[in-house]
């Protein structure tokens, strides 16, 4: 069974997101007609509006820009973490309807670095896969007989039996089992997501995904996300005694990242 790595693509986003946000802000602070909200707002003007909103803490207009990501090569453990961010929309590949044989899995880096641990982990994944296949086989046999007795054709009985079998066989799949999903967040929710998940104290898998998401949205809306990231980028670390104490390195990393992205 193959190991997998997180991969994120930006599927779509609000067209001219900073301009849309600027139009929403313009409505709040002027008597402009709806039809004229976006007129006269160029890239520079949109950037000034977005900066102004950031400086005064007026965050509601940025909710009008949304970003949709395709995420794959992540674990079901990751799924449990990201869905804690409730102001978002999620569509996830179903283990109930999609057979996972063989399944890909995510191996934690700390395990991968120790050959003996990596071998043990791989053995455990192989065992889970074997149990899943055997349970699917046993359950399919049972369900096929029931569907045939109910009058289904042999072809239909096999198809229905397999679908019903994997619904229960999936319970043996590990948290490391891979999955894929589509995630949509508005810009305000994304900024909150980045605040928590780009911190060095965030779990490694969701931090890696957050970093890929950050790079993608920064490339299309640099002003909007210019102050996004872990809190220590723009102020003291809020983690207290739990701080990673690497603020200088974090700031250097993000400065270099922004330079590579063209800012």
List active site positions. 197
Instruction: Tell which residue, 212, 206, 199, 182, has the closest CA to residue 77.
Output: 206
For residues 144-179, one letter each, b for 16 or more C-beta atoms within 10 angstroms of the residue's C-beta and e for the rest, the string is beebeeeebeeeebbebbbebbbbebbebbbebbbb
CA distance between the termini of the chain: 41
- Contact, 168 vs 143, CB < 8 A? no
How far CA 38 is from CA of 35, 93, 127, in Å, comes to 8, 38, 59
DSSP 3-state assignment of 37?
coil
Backbone phi and psi for residue 91, each to the nearest 5 degrees, phi listed first:
-125, 120
Place of tokens 């007129």: 39
> Parallel, antiparallel, or unpaired for β 89-92 and 178-186?
antiparallel
- Contact, 73 vs 142, CB < 8 A? no
Residue count of the chain? 263
């Amino acid at each position: 069974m193959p190991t997998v790595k997180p991969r994120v693509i930006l599927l779509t986003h609000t067209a001219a997101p900073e301009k849309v946000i600027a139009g929403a802000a313009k409505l709040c602070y002027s008597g402009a007609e709806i039809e004229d909200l976006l007129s006269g707002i160029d890239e520079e003007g949109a950037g000034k509006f977005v900066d102004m909103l950031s400086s005064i803490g007026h965050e509601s207009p940025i909710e009008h820009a949304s970003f949709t990501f395709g995420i794959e090569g992540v674990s079901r453990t990751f799924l449990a973490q990201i869905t804690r961010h409730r102001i978002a929309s999620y569509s996830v590949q179903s283990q109930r309807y999609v057979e996972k044989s063989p399944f890909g899995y995510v191996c934690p880096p700390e395990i991968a670095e120790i050959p003996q641990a990596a071998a043990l982990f791989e053995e455990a994944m192989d065992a889970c896969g074997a149990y899943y296949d055997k349970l699917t086989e046993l359950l399919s046999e049972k369900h096929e007989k029931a569907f045939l007795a109910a009058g289904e054709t042999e072809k239909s009985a096999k198809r229905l039996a397999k679908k019903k079998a994997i619904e229960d066989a999936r319970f043996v799949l590990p948290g490391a089992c891979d999955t894929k999903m589509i995630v949509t967040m508005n810009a305000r929710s994304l900024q909150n997501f980045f605040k928590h998940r780009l911190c060095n104290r965030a779990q490694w898998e969701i931090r890696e995904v957050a970093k890929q998401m950050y790079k993608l949205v920064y490339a299309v809306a640099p002003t909007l996300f210019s102050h996004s990231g872990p809190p220590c980028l723009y102020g003291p670390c809020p983690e207290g005694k739990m701080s990673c104490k690497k603020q200088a390195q974090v700031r250097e990393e993000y400065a270099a990242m922004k330079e590579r992205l063209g800012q």
